[in-house]
Amino acid sequence: MSKRDDLIAKYATDLKEKCKITPDMDFLTKVTIGCGPSIYNKDASTVAGSDQTELDTVKNNFLIKKLGLADGPELDKAISEVIATYGKSNPNKHRAVIYYMLAKHFKKESIYS
C-alpha cells in the first residue's frame, strides 16, 4: 500500500472509532487527495481545535473558497460541531477527516466529483 492509502485507512479508522461515522471510502479518498501534500506534513495534516487562527483557516480556505459557502455563523457552528464530534480532547484531529465531515454536513460532496 502507498503512504496515501495508509493515511486514508487511518482516517477511516478515526471516522469509525472516534466519530462513530461509517465512512464513504470513495468520498474520503477524494477529500484526502483534495488536501494535497499537506497530508504528509505533521503540522499541516492536523487541525488544532482550540486555535482560532486554525479554525479561521478551515472556514476561509475550505468552507468559503473550496466549498463555495457564504460566510456566516452557521459555518462556525458546523466547525464547532465537527470538532466536538471528533473529540475536543483528541489532540490529533486530521484535516482530511474534518474536511470530510464538513463537506458531508453541508451536502457538498459534488465538489469532489
Per-residue pLDDT reduced to its tens digit, 9-54: 999 999 999 999 999 999 999 999 999 999 999 999 999 999 999 9
> Do residues 103 and 34 touch, judged by C-beta distance below 8 A?
no
* Cα 18 from Cα 109, distance rounded (Å): 22
Three-class HEC string of the chain: CCHHHHHHHHHHHHHHHCCCCCCCHHHHHHHHHHCHHHHHCCCCCECCCCCHHHHHHHHHHHHHHHCCCCCCHHHHHHHHHHHHHHCCCCCCCEHHHHHHHHHHHCCCHHHHC
pLDDT at 91 over 90: no
Confidence of residue 88 (pLDDT cuts 50, 70, 90): confident
**Phi and psi (nearest 5°) for 67?**
-85, -15
Using alpha carbons, list the distances in angstroms from residue 75 to 6, 10, 14, 68, 96.
30, 26, 22, 12, 17
Annotated domain spans of the chain: 3-112
Architecture of the domain delimited by 3-112: Orthogonal Bundle (1.10)
pLDDT given at position 7: 97
Whole-model pTM: value is 0.96
